[in-house]
Structure formats: structure tokens, C-alpha cells
A and B are shown apart, each in its own frame.
Chain A
Amino acid sequence: MARVVLGHELGRLAGGDKTIDVPARNVRELKAALVERYPQLAPLLASDGLAVAIDGDIVPDAFLEPLRPDSEVFFLPAIRGG
């Protein structure tokens, strides 16, 4: 199961949960599982403003990116640059 670190804002909306284990083969499944568990996260998880770091690689448009059973996933604000 992927280990998911929600970050401050998602964690706040999830009632204080910060780190959870989620069975998912890719980011799409991961987000669906999170929404099922925390429906209130749906708008933020669907936002373009959220990036996903998978095992250290930040992916701004994560959708079908595969996850390993031991992947560590962080949700972060999407940063682009100047």
C-alpha cells in the first residue's frame, strides 16, 4: 500500500489525519480512494493547484503515474516558476 502524506491543508480538511496507507496502483486510484474516505477532499484533490510527489519526484499533473506498493506519496502545492 502506498503511504500517503496529506500535507498541512489536506490533513486539516481530513480532520487531522496526516499519514495514511492507501491501496492504489496509480495516482488516479489513490485520489479516488482518498475521496471515498474523505469526501471533503474532493475539490482540492481535483484542483490543478495540487501536485504529487511520488518517491521524491514532483509531478504537477499526476493522474496515471504508477505507484509501487511501498511508494511514498506527498501532496504539495503545485509550483511552476518564473
Chain B
Amino acid sequence: MSEGNGQAKNGGGLHWVGTRSIRPDGVDKVTGRANFGADFFMPGMLTGRVLRSPHPHARIRSIDASKALALPGVKAVVTCDDMPDIPAEEAFVGEGPMNFRDLSRNCLARGKALYDGHAVAAVAATTAAIAEQALGLIEVDYEVLPHVIDVEAAMRPDAPVLHDDVFTQGVDPAPTRPSNVAKRVQTGHGDLDAGFAAADVVVERHFTTKPVHQGYIEPHACVASVSEDGQTTIWGSSQGHFMIRAYVAKLLAMDISEIRVIPAEIGGGFGGKTLVYLEPVAVLLSRKSGRPVKMVMSREEVFRATGPTSGTAIRVKIGAKKDGTITAAEAECKYQAGGFPGSQVHAAAMTGFACYSLANVRIIGWDVCVNRPRCAAYRAPGAPMAAFAIESTVDEVAEKIGIDPIDLRLKNAAKSNSQSSYGPQFREIGYIETLKAAKEHPHYKAPLGPNQGRGIASGFWFNIGGESSAAINVNEDGTAVVATGSPDIGGSRASMALMAAEVLGIDQARIRPIVADTASIGYTFLTGGSRVTFATGMAVVESAKQVVQQLRERAAKIWDIDVDAVEWKDGEARPAGSNAGRFEPLSLKDLAAMAGKTGGPIIGRSALNAQGAGPGFGTHICDVEIDRETGKVTIVRYTAVQDVGKAIHPSYVEGQIQGGVAQGIGWALNEEYIYGDDGRLQNPGFLDYRMPVASDLPMIDAVMVEVPNPAHPYGARGVGEVPIVPPMAAVANAIYRAGGVRMPDLPMSPPRLLAALDGD
């Protein structure tokens, strides 16, 4: 069932942490029994559908739903008039600062439609066909306005302005005219002029990236049911059911206690399911119709209306001495926010040069509104685009100096106790270890064939902790349930069971890990930021320690000795030394069977705000082969080295690394949102939006470097986001080595590469 290959971070033996146990949700998923967001049904349930703007930018003069409401089978129509017009208020509920007014207007447009696909109204009807028909009967009077998609075009003074109340923050003097530029941010330190003056080589380049979608297989879906007394239940898949509860309460002016959210299995999120789109609308429709309402997006709706990443324009300038010392580095990052302010340009400014220890560094970022869906988080949100630009430039600096690209990185690498490019000192980090492991890997020295090239790139992500709750209930037969509030999007249930098994000293197969609903477990921040194994894992470990303490107390009662004379070892209570007396060990099963006689059920609970999530670094090696006649790029070999702290479940960690690399390769080579001159998205489907499939990729070799995080009981670091940061630059640098052309614009699709090879 399992293979034990784990070693404790301090050298002691671990029984379960570090093993490759069978995933507890695996059978249901491969047999189709698992319930995802769209699988839930209720008696009398209606089907909800959304009317979406066909215009990228339009004033909504009026909405007339009378004909739709007259259609037999239509039970409710809602517009923004059914939602409270809430004031601007910014708070952290999801993946980043969120203005609740903007979120409300993203769920149902108020006054203006800001992108092709923006929700304008919604219908609930007895069948999907009637609901679709009703959408066609809703009359919306639009005044079509000029639109802008490109980030640099949106920054121009003559660009169409999306919001008349957005004035650029972070600049002096404060502007008196509204614009699409919502914010300027800056990080860095030192003297750039002096740094560049000291350089022997200076490279300055301009890069662009296209918006890409997270591409989760499962579309957004939910069921909402509002009772006559207002009690509301929502079933749905997301990265945070507590996030859904908080957003719905805020947007609909409800008490949190009125809302219960029950999590479904989730078919991928990658950051894109850290917002609400359908849930408040489904609640409104259910409240208005008096019936449960199910809403499921089509793939086209997912592309047109849910958050992709930012498209970007980035300028990078790096200066270095002949010995490889980087003397100065700067970047300017312009990030599309979509229809509302709030791109992840902050993260770009903080992560861009984080792999390097630099005396003189600066990144300026601009958050820019454009007529596209509001951007959402996507794995290390904001970081991959900046890394593409900066790691491509670092590669060119290494080439100009004539130094191995890994050696250049080793010479300038961030290390424990060095000052980060964004300010504070790093604590224990393992970037150098990833560089050394990459350099020593057989892949780095393997011969290349004709038209092949090898690229290197590194990446960084913060990782986070945060609020988590967990409970462990010991069953009467000595098995146990581990309940947490963290949706399992990356195998966290298996990791929770392993950590509980380690503390309890029982077989992990005797532990059933579940994701509890919002009424059954304490508040838990969403699954994102690579936090769950770290933070929720700490809550599970604390809960298990409480269980062990109670088990020792029960044994002490049975033996009539002091609890300090009882130790817990290998899943048994034993006398702690010969002075404690002679007693036969009592197993967890024995003690569970006697729980009623010794004090009642045995339950451990923990709620905490975990701090000290260790940052993660990765270094990737990519081999490509280019077809000079078609421009097609084939990934021949790929090795991803990452500091994972301690791999609690190595197979899942490898899976996270492989998944991040696969998504990064898609971002590098093919994926992009394509808009027509009319501002409408032209490729809202997987046929035209080309994500990599298994046959496009080689086996991705995940190499785990373990530099333990001292803040976690077993040394875990987050692992889910770092692996998407380096691939675009690794691929671009490999293409350069194969074809002799630098590719500053993503995606590096066949037509683009062919044009570059032809010198166009």
C-alpha cells in the first residue's frame, strides 16, 4: 500500500510523513462517483442562466425583462437592481485585496458593461432550454462605447476610460483626471545610476505576454437554496467555501450565520476559483423564485467571463561586471487588471528579482484597467510574467559575459540571511541548493541533437500560512476522522492523513480525511498561496497532539497513575519507565473502545493563524527542438528542481511540480486570448485556445531538494506555485540556444518563431 522513504528533518525516523500513500479520494474520482460542482441535484431545482454583454464597453441604458418573465417556465429574472448597491470597500477575503463594490458589479453589471461576456442579467427557469430562450427575450439597451484591450494603449492619455472614479494612486501630484491607470507601485533599494555606471555589460530589453486562462477542467458551478426564513445553503466547488460565504454575505448584505456553504470536489482551480461569479446570482434567483437554483457555466462563459491572468508589457535592464556580479537591475511592469482595478502587479514587483541578492534594484509596476474580464489569481499570481522577462535578460547577460547561466545565478543568488530584492532579509531558503542540484543533474551535461537547445531559468514564490481549523474525531473502533476547512485541490487530504498518522502512531489507512462545510468546522482561509499542507497541516498536527494528550490521560485513569507517567509511542500508551508501574500497553483502539467509561468521546481541535511559511525557489532545465520549416517547438526533455522543504507526500509534490511546468509550457508556446477589432474574444474554447495535452509533453523530471522550513513540524514548504514561474524563460532561453533568436513576446507559437527565424 505504501512505501516508507521519509526521513525526519532532524534525522529521526518518520513512519508516514514522506511516504506515497494511496490518495483517499482516488477511487471515487477514477470511477466517476465523486461529486463535483455540477453533480448536485435537489427536488424542484431550477436552471439558472446568465445574459452576457456582447460588447467590450457599453453603457447600459435600460434592461426590460418583461417578455422573459412572461415566458412559461421562467420563475425569476435578476439584474443589478436586485443586488445592494454597496459602497467601495477593500478587504482581504480571497486571493488579494478586493473591492466589494467592484466584485458586486462584476457579478452583475451596474451602469456599464466592461468586457465581452460581462454578466448583465440572469434567469431561472424549469428547464435549461426555457432559460436559454428567456435570455433572448431580455431587451438590453446598450450605448456602445470605444474600448481598449492592450495595456500600453490603455495607459495613453487619449484612451477610452473605463471608470470615471479611478485616479492613479501612488503618484505625486495626485492626478485630477480619471484614467485607466489605477495604481503605481515600486520596490527596491540602492543606487541604480551608480550600479549601472559600474557595469561592464548592460542589457535592456522589452517583453510582452498575453493573458492566459487557468484552464481548469471543471467549469464554475453551484446550487443555491434559500428557505422561506432566509436560511441559505450553497453547494459548489471553489478554492474556499468560507470565501464564498464571506463574499455572498457581503455582496447581498446578509449575516454570515444565514449562509452555509457545502464544498464539492473541485476539478481544478489554480487560483481561478478564489472569487465568486455565480453564487450571489444563484442566491438571488433562489430567493426570488422560492426554489433551489443550479448554475453551471459553459466553457465559453468560463473563458469570456472568469478571470484570466494579466497580459503584460515589461521592460528589463540589467548591468553586470565581467566576473558576473550584477551591479544594477531594474524593471517596469505594466499589468492588465481587466475591467476593474486589481492586477497582481504588486507581486511582480516583489518577486521579479527575488532570486538575486542585489545592491541596486528597482521595479516599478502599473495596474491598468482594460476591457477584459477582471483578472484573477493564477499560480504564483503576477510572478511568471516578470520572471519570463527577467530570466530571459539574465540569460542574455550570461551569454554576453561568457559565463555559464547557472554560474551567473550562483554568483548572485539570494541566500539565507541575505536582503531580498523586495526588502526584508530571507530566513532559511534553498535557492542555491536548487542551482547546485540542477548543475549536477545528468540532464545539464547530456548531449543535444541538431536544432536542439537547452535553457535555464529560476523562479520564486513567497508561500503563505494563514488561518486554518482542523478537528480529529476518534471513532469507537480506533479509526479517526480528520476534518479541515481546506478544499482539496492538490492532494491535501492525503497529506493531512499522513501527518495525523505520524502523530497518532496509527496506519494512515485508518484515518479518513474530509473537507468539512462552513457550519461544521472553524473558519479556514481559502486554498491558495501554497498554504494548506503548511498551515492546515499545522492545525492537524496540533489536533493530533491534543488527541494524544487525551489518550495519555485516559490510560493514566485506567492504570490509576499520573499522566506524566504515561508516554505515547508507536500508537500505544505505555508506562514511561519502570517507576511508572507494569502495565500492558493500551492501543488507540483499546482506549477508543473504553472512551465512554473514561470521560466520553476523544476529540482534538485546533484553530490557528500559521506564520513562517518558507519561501520557495526552483531552477528548471529545458531542452527544445525547433522545426525550422514550421516554427513548431517540441519540448524534448524537462527537469524541474525545487526546494520543497519536506515532501509530506512526495508523489503529490512531484505532481504539483509537473502540473506547474505543463501549464508554464502552455503559456510559453501556445496559450493566448485573441480579441478581434470589435473587442470580442475569438477563441473561447479548448479547440482554439491551445493548452498542452499529454502527447505534447515529455516526462517532466521533478527533483525535490529538501531544505526544511523550521516553522513547520515536519519542515514543509508550499510547493504549488513556484513550478509555474520559470518555464516560460526556460523555454525561451532554450529556443535561443537552438535557433539563435531571442523571443521577447509570448506565446512563442509557430508563426512567431517562424517569423523570427526568417528575420521578419
- Enumerate chain A interface residues (CB-CB to B < 8 A): 5, 7-9, 12, 47-49, 53, 55-61, 72, 74, 76-82
For the complex formed, measure the closest distance between the CB of A54 and the CB atoms of chain B, giving whole angstroms.
Answer: 8
For the complex formed, measure the closest distance between the CB of B544 and the CB atoms of chain A, giving whole angstroms.
Answer: 25
What A residues does B426 contact at CB under 8 A? 56
Q: How far is the CA of A54 from the CA of B271 in the complex (A)?
A: 27
What A residues does B462 contact at CB under 8 A? 58, 79, 81
What B residues does A82 contact at CB under 8 A? 95, 214, 270-272, 274, 376-381, 528-529, 721
Across the interface, B424 reaches (CB within 8 A) one of A49, A74, A77, namely A74
What B residues does A53 contact at CB under 8 A? 423-424
What A residues does B214 contact at CB under 8 A? 82
What B residues does A60 contact at CB under 8 A? 92, 464, 466
Would you list 25 pairs from A and B whose C-beta atoms are within 8 A, ordered by A residue?
Answer: A8-B185, A8-B187, A8-B188, A9-B170, A12-B172, A48-B90, A48-B91, A53-B424, A55-B425, A56-B427, A58-B424, A59-B611, A60-B92, A60-B464, A74-B423, A76-B424, A79-B96, A79-B346, A79-B350, A80-B377, A81-B461, A81-B528, A82-B214, A82-B271, A82-B528
Residues B425 and A72 in contact, CB atoms below 8 Å apart: yes
For the complex formed, measure the closest distance between the CB of A60 and the CB atoms of chain B, giving whole angstroms.
Answer: 7
Across the interface, A76 reaches (CB within 8 A) one of B92, B379, B422, namely B422
For the complex formed, measure the closest distance between the CB of B484 and the CB atoms of chain A, giving whole angstroms.
Answer: 18
Q: How far is the CA of A66 from the CA of B235 in the complex (A)?
A: 41
Across the A-B interface, give the 3 residue pairs with the lowest CB-CB distance, nearest first.
A82-B271, A81-B529, A82-B377
For the complex formed, measure the closest distance between the CB of A26 and the CB atoms of chain B, giving whole angstroms.
Answer: 14
What A residues does B170 contact at CB under 8 A? 9, 12
What A residues does B91 contact at CB under 8 A? 48
Residues A81 and B271 in contact, CB atoms below 8 Å apart: yes
What B residues does A79 contact at CB under 8 A? 96, 346-347, 350, 462, 464, 529
Residues B380 and A5 in contact, CB atoms below 8 Å apart: no
Interface centre among B95, B187, B611 (most CB of A within 10 A): B611
Contacts A7-B423, A55-B425 given; indicate if A81 touches B381 (C-beta within 8 A).
yes
What B residues does A12 contact at CB under 8 A? 170, 172
Q: How far is the CA of A40 from the CA of B274 in the complex (A)?
A: 32
Residues A81 and B95 in contact, CB atoms below 8 Å apart: yes
- Enumerate chain B interface residues (CB-CB to A < 8 A): 90-92, 94-97, 170, 172, 185-188, 214, 270-272, 274, 346-347, 350, 376-381, 417, 422-427, 461-464, 466, 528-531, 609, 611-612, 711, 718, 721
Contacts A56-B427, A59-B611 given; indicate if A77 touches B381 (C-beta within 8 A).
no
What A residues does B376 contact at CB under 8 A? 82
Contacts A8-B186, A9-B185, A72-B425 given; indicate if A80 touches B90 (C-beta within 8 A).
no
Residues B186 and A57 in contact, CB atoms below 8 Å apart: no
For the complex formed, measure the closest distance between the CB of A70 and the CB atoms of chain B, giving whole angstroms.
Answer: 13
Since A12-B172, A57-B612, A81-B718 are in contact, a sample of 7 more A-B pairs with Cβ atoms closer than 8 Å, ordered by chain A residue number, is A5-B423, A8-B187, A47-B97, A60-B466, A74-B424, A81-B529, A82-B379
Q: B-side binding surface: helix, strand, loop or mixed?
A: loop
For the complex formed, measure the closest distance between the CB of A4 and the CB atoms of chain B, giving whole angstroms.
Answer: 11
For the complex formed, measure the closest distance between the CB of B242 and the CB atoms of chain A, giving whole angstroms.
Answer: 14
For the complex formed, measure the closest distance between the CB of B649 and the CB atoms of chain A, giving whole angstroms.
Answer: 20
Q: How far is the CA of A36 from the CA of B214 in the complex (A)?
A: 45
What B residues does A72 contact at CB under 8 A? 424-425
Residues B528 and A77 in contact, CB atoms below 8 Å apart: no
Q: How far is the CA of A8 from the CA of B423 in the complex (A)?
A: 10
Residues B346 and A48 in contact, CB atoms below 8 Å apart: no
Residues B97 and A49 in contact, CB atoms below 8 Å apart: yes
For the complex formed, measure the closest distance between the CB of B184 and the CB atoms of chain A, giving whole angstroms.
Answer: 9
Q: How far is the CA of A47 from the CA of B169 in the complex (A)?
A: 15
What B residues does A74 contact at CB under 8 A? 423-424
For the complex formed, measure the closest distance between the CB of B629 and the CB atoms of chain A, giving whole angstroms.
Answer: 38
Q: How far is the CA of A48 from the CA of B467 in the complex (A)?
A: 14
Q: How far is the CA of A59 from the CA of B528 in the complex (A)?
A: 16
Across the interface, A81 reaches (CB within 8 A) one of B530, B611, B612, namely B530
Q: How far is the CA of A56 from the CA of B529 in the complex (A)?
A: 18
Q: Which residue of A lies closest to B467 (CB)?
A: A61
What A residues does B187 contact at CB under 8 A? 7-8
Q: Which residue of B lies closest to A55 (CB)?
A: B425
Q: How far is the CA of A5 from the CA of B270 in the complex (A)?
A: 33
Contacts A8-B187, A12-B170, A59-B611 given; indicate if A80 touches B424 (C-beta within 8 A).
no
What A residues does B172 contact at CB under 8 A? 12
Q: Which residue of B lies closest to A5 (CB)?
A: B423
Q: Which residue of A lies closest to B711 (CB)?
A: A57
Q: Which residue of A lies closest to B423 (CB)?
A: A74
For the complex formed, measure the closest distance between the CB of A13 and the CB atoms of chain B, giving whole angstroms.
Answer: 9
Q: How far is the CA of A79 from the CA of B465 in the complex (A)?
A: 11
Residues B611 and A49 in contact, CB atoms below 8 Å apart: no
Across the interface, B92 reaches (CB within 8 A) one of A9, A57, A78, namely A78
Contacts A58-B424, A59-B611, A60-B466 given; indicate if A81 touches B380 (C-beta within 8 A).
yes
Q: Which residue of B lies closest to A65 (CB)?
A: B611
Interface centre among B94, B185, B422, B721 (most CB of A within 10 A): B422
Residues B464 and A61 in contact, CB atoms below 8 Å apart: no
What B residues does A76 contact at CB under 8 A? 350, 422-424
What A residues does B92 contact at CB under 8 A? 48-49, 60, 78, 80
What A residues does B530 contact at CB under 8 A? 81
Q: Which residue of A lies closest to B269 (CB)?
A: A82
For the complex formed, measure the closest distance between the CB of A50 and the CB atoms of chain B, giving whole angstroms.
Answer: 9
Q: How far is the CA of A74 from the CA of B376 in the complex (A)?
A: 27
For the complex formed, measure the closest distance between the CB of A40 and the CB atoms of chain B, giving whole angstroms.
Answer: 12
Interface centre among A12, A53, A61, A80 (most CB of B within 10 A): A80
Across the interface, B464 reaches (CB within 8 A) one of A48, A56, A80, namely A80
Contacts A5-B423, A57-B427 given; indicate if A80 touches B96 (C-beta within 8 A).
yes
What A residues does B186 contact at CB under 8 A? 8-9
For the complex formed, measure the closest distance between the CB of B421 and the CB atoms of chain A, giving whole angstroms.
Answer: 12
Q: How far is the CA of A47 from the CA of B92 in the complex (A)?
A: 9
What A residues does B185 contact at CB under 8 A? 8-9, 77
Q: Which residue of B lies closest to A7 (CB)?
A: B423
Q: How far is the CA of A12 from the CA of B184 in the complex (A)?
A: 12
Q: Which residue of B lies closest to A78 (CB)?
A: B92
Q: Which residue of A lies closest to B169 (CB)?
A: A9
For the complex formed, measure the closest distance between the CB of A79 and the CB atoms of chain B, giving whole angstroms.
Answer: 5
Interface centre among A57, A59, A72 (most CB of B within 10 A): A57
For the complex formed, measure the closest distance between the CB of B414 and the CB atoms of chain A, giving whole angstroms.
Answer: 12
Q: How far is the CA of A12 from the CA of B383 in the complex (A)?
A: 25
What B residues does A9 contact at CB under 8 A? 170, 185-186
Residues A81 and B531 in contact, CB atoms below 8 Å apart: yes
Q: How far is the CA of A12 from the CA of B168 in the complex (A)?
A: 14
For the complex formed, measure the closest distance between the CB of B71 and the CB atoms of chain A, giving whole angstroms.
Answer: 40
Residues A80 and B611 in contact, CB atoms below 8 Å apart: no
What B residues does A77 contact at CB under 8 A? 185, 346-347, 350
What A residues does B274 contact at CB under 8 A? 82
Contacts A8-B185, A8-B186, A78-B97 given; indicate if A56 touches B424 (C-beta within 8 A).
yes
Q: How far is the CA of A5 from the CA of B419 in the complex (A)?
A: 13
Q: How far is the CA of A7 from the CA of B423 in the complex (A)?
A: 8
Q: How far is the CA of A5 from the CA of B377 in the complex (A)?
A: 28
Q: How far is the CA of A78 from the CA of B274 in the complex (A)?
A: 16
Residues A61 and B424 in contact, CB atoms below 8 Å apart: no
For the complex formed, measure the closest distance between the CB of B6 and the CB atoms of chain A, giving whole angstroms.
Answer: 26
Q: How far is the CA of A57 from the CA of B429 in the complex (A)?
A: 12
Interface centre among B97, B270, B274, B376 (most CB of A within 10 A): B97
Q: Which residue of A lies closest to B461 (CB)?
A: A81
For the complex formed, measure the closest distance between the CB of B275 and the CB atoms of chain A, giving whole angstroms.
Answer: 11
For the complex formed, measure the closest distance between the CB of B228 and the CB atoms of chain A, giving whole angstroms.
Answer: 36
Residues A61 and B90 in contact, CB atoms below 8 Å apart: no
